[in-house]
Amino acid sequence: MAGPAAPGEPERVAFVLIDGVGDVTIPQLGGRTPLQAASLPHLDAVAAAGLTGLMDPVEPGLACGSDTAHLSLFGYDPRTYYRGRGAFESMGAGLDMSPGDIAFKSNFATLDPGSGIVLRRRADRRFEELGPVLCAALDGLRLPNFPQHSVSVKYATEHRCGVVVRGPGLADQISGTDPLKDNLPLQRSQALDGSPEAAHTAAVVNELSDCMRQVLEGHPVNEQRRAEGKPPANVVLLRGCGSRLALQEFKERHGLDACMVAPTKIIAGLGMSLGIRVLDVPGTTGDYRTLFHRKAEAIAEALSRGGFQFGFLHVKAVDDTGHDFLVDLKPRYQEVVDRMVAQLLCLLWEQERAGNGRYSIVVTGDHSTPVEFGDHSHEPVPFAIAHVRHVVEALGGNAAMERIPLGPIPHPGEQPAGAAQQAPAAAGAAAGQAAVAAGAAQPAGGQQMQARQGDPSQQEGEQLHQQQQADHHQQQQQQQAATSPSGRWGGAGAAQFDEIAVAAGQLGRFPGSQVMPLIRQFVGLEAAGG
């Protein structure tokens, strides 16, 4: 159990990564970004109390994937170390990998067998019940022309699964079968270099793709889905072929014993590749249904009592709203994240007041996912880092922290608080899924919020949140007037956590490769310029 901080002991770091957080101004939101449209008093306090800037996760102008972005943020240049995302997804899903194996990040998708066109790259996001059934049917699949090769398949999250191929002569320098957009032909794998190993591997993968289609086409799950008028999951799109990385571990590189809460399997697998402990937190799902408060509790516990110095908390739901074109829901889920950050600050401050260490918090994203575009883009993301004690000052001190409600966090459109513990997740997912199914760009988020105002059991929590929102303007004034840690660093923080406000911050615009050196300096692991 961790005890009081020793003199000169570096601060422990809570790193909150909001996947897909960045966006652009949207006419439907009054010419504001979702972050500007959302009420984010606690994220704003982090920005006001600390250092802020705009961060390009890899480099300016690059619309990067989550995997390359995370590698960069953790201090590993993806240009040097990246070997495809398949190994991350598969390891995160629980598949073992040995040297010489290859793996894929894979989607269950819908194919028109007659034309060979991929109609939907995601057959269904809500696949947590059927996905494992189909994976079980594919696991151990034999390839008639390559009997010396074996195949392992395991369900990951949503529409995704991990696929590992073992056998002689495999290489990861091949293309996948994913066309990357709907309504395009299913691709055939090709060698990306002139090596015989790559040509051999492409032949193996093409046979694997064909055999998977044969199994899925007539599977009872898909027969039932067709009967119900739902798109069948009759193809697996194989992409991001990769082999397991042999990297210097995070602790050895940065001097920080690290853990993460990352139900999204590709992020968990990346963490495992770096020797970061992946915490198993019940109720955290890596999608709309996740229990946000459990993430805050797990990171606070790991940092205060688990012996960890660096706790990484990954949030996926905000990114999903971008991919699903849910303009109204993106700021609403950003507000849910704000409440989660409030709980994390409260729990860490309780430990700091008790003399159990000192803490800093980092909040940023891995890329932008503009909600009107529906995919990753090249825009930089907001970044903020602050000492927890200064965030507490910016919020108004101990009295403000005591008003923060702990426990389950309301999702957009959630059921009454007295319902089953899983109700918040189910209702939040339902709001997103209903909008996706209807092809709606504007789910009735406002109506859903109004519907729960009349529930007495919900009103107390809502009133607390409304009180915090009412104090938001006053807090911003306090934040601007308060001495930030950068009074010692050179200037006040930004008044808001959004793409526009942080652009004027002390850090300016910088690449993701500078994140870990900045953190090390900020928490006292090394002198500035060291």
Q: What are the pLDDT tens digits along the chain (530 aa)? A: 344 445 568 899 999 999 999 999 999 999 999 999 999 999 999 999 999 999 999 999 989 888 889 999 999 998 888 777 777 778 787 788 888 899 998 999 999 999 999 999 998 877 888 889 999 999 999 999 999 999 999 998 788 888 999 999 999 999 999 999 999 999 999 999 989 999 999 999 999 999 999 999 999 999 999 999 999 999 999 998 988 777 899 999 999 999 999 988 889 888 988 999 999 999 998 888 899 999 999 999 999 999 999 999 999 999 999 999 999 999 999 999 999 999 999 999 999 999 999 999 999 999 999 999 999 999 999 999 999 999 999 999 999 999 999 999 999 977 534 444 443 444 444 444 444 444 333 333 333 323 223 333 334 444 444 444 444 444 444 444 443 444 334 445 688 999 999 999 999 999 999 999 999 999 988 765 44
> Which pLDDT score is estimated for 434?
45
| Residue whose C-alpha is closest to residue 505's, from 400, 313, 363, 396 | 363
pLDDT at 462: 43
Reported in sequence order, the residue ranges of 174-292 that DSSP labels E, i.e. its strands, are 184-185, 235-242, 258-261, 277-278
The CA distance from 56 to 488, in Å, is 26
Q: Residue length, the chain?
A: 530
Phi/psi of residue 309, each to 5°? -105, -15
Structure token digits, residue 137:
């049917």
Cα→Cα distances 357→8, 215, 279, 304, Å: 11, 55, 21, 7
∠ Cα 236 261 258 (to 5°)? 120
Q: What is the pTM of this model?
A: 0.73
Instruction: Write down the pLDDT at residue 416.
Output: 38
The whole-number pLDDT of residue 235 equals 96
pLDDT of residue 52: 97
Residue type, 14: A
The pair of structure tokens assigned to 38 is: 């959302």
Residue 101 in contact with residue 165, Cβ under 8 Å?
yes
